[in-house]
């Protein structure tokens, strides 16, 4: 991260009640980029603290994401990443926790800042999904794009990472998996089996380098292999080969 400036900004607003279902908070102009969770999980409605429920993700303190740009004209150096903590116990407060100026494709960013997680954990509030949510916002000039998260302990995340209700699709390029209107990217556990998808949404096979380790995805069906030896390399129970 090029630069991270910690700020604190509180704005209290009265909250009405309404319900909407959409993937993220919509602005008139959105930054043309996409956030990719490094490990996918089932989406869930999250109250934005103001008027709507937004489709977002559960995440733990260990979850990270990458970004890709959707337009060749976008320079990620010009994009600002802002971390917000939104609480709505009574009035709504939207606290700006940190800003990162300039992004990079391939870099793994935390869903929630470690400093925020540590502070909120000491208060015992970090997992209070009924009173708070966490927001990642990308901005450039008058363009904005937001993603919403609710926190859960890493020990509980296995229950949310097993995806069932999507569908496989095949074309001339290969296999993709569509879930809630979007094609999965990165790691995904589908019906108890792990798969790895490229940023274009297509299933990967063979040896793949991911987040500092080598993994082997069965060429016949894409399933990650574990507890076996392939090409003289021993894969552990997590599927990783580490020299």
Task: Give domain 161-241's CATH number out of 1.20.1250.20, 3.40.50.1110, 3.40.50.2300, 2.10.270.10.
Answer: 2.10.270.10
Shortest CA distance to 136 belongs to which of 84, 95, 61, 71? 84
Per the listing, tokens 């990458």 go with 66
**pTM metric for this prediction:** 0.84
- The DSSP bridge pattern shows strands 167-171 and 174-179 to be antiparallel
The DSSP symbol for 21 reads: -
Instruction: Per residue of the chain (243 residues), give pLDDT as tens.
Output: 544 544 433 333 233 333 333 344 556 799 999 999 999 998 899 998 888 899 999 999 999 999 999 999 999 999 999 999 999 877 899 999 999 999 999 999 999 999 999 998 888 878 877 789 999 999 999 999 999 999 999 999 998 999 988 999 999 999 999 998 899 999 999 999 999 999 999 999 999 999 889 999 999 999 999 999 999 999 999 999 987
Report the alpha-carbon distance of residue 154 to residue 30 in Å, rounded: 31
What is the location of CATH 2.10.270.10 in the chain? 161-241
Q: Nearest Cα to 239, choosing from 229, 221, 225, 223?
A: 225
- Tell me the C-alpha distance between 221 and 232, whole Å: 21
């Amino acid at each position: 991260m090029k630069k991270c400036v910690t700020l604190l900004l509180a704005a209290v607003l009265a909250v009405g009640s309404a319900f909407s279902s959409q993937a993220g908070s919509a602005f008139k102009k959105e930054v043309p980029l996409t956030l990719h969770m490094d490990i996918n999980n089932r989406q869930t409605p999250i109250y934005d603290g103001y008027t709507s429920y937004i489709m977002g993700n559960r995440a733990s303190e260990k979850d990270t994401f990458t970004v890709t740009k959707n337009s060749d004209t976008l320079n990620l150096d010009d994009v600002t990443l802002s971390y917000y903590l939104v609480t709505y116990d009574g009035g709504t407060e939207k606290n700006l926790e940190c800003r990162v100026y300039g992004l990079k494709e391939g870099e793994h960013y935390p869903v929630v800042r470690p400093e925020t997680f540590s502070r909120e954990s000491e208060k015992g509030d970090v997992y209070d999904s009924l009173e708070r949510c966490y927001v990642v916002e990308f901005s450039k000039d008058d363009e904005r794009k937001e993603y919403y998260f609710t926190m859960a302990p890493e020990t509980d995340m296995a229950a949310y990472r097993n995806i069932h209700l999507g569908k496989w699709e095949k074309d001339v390029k290969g296999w993709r998996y569509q879930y809630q209107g979007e094609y999965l990217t990165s790691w995904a556990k589908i019906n108890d089996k792990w798969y790895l998808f490229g940023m274009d949404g297509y299933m990967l096979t063979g040896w793949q380098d991911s987040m500092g380790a080598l993994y082997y995805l069965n060429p016949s069906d894409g399933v990650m292999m574990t507890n076996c030896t392939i090409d003289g390399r021993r894969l552990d129970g997590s599927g990783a080969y580490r020299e």
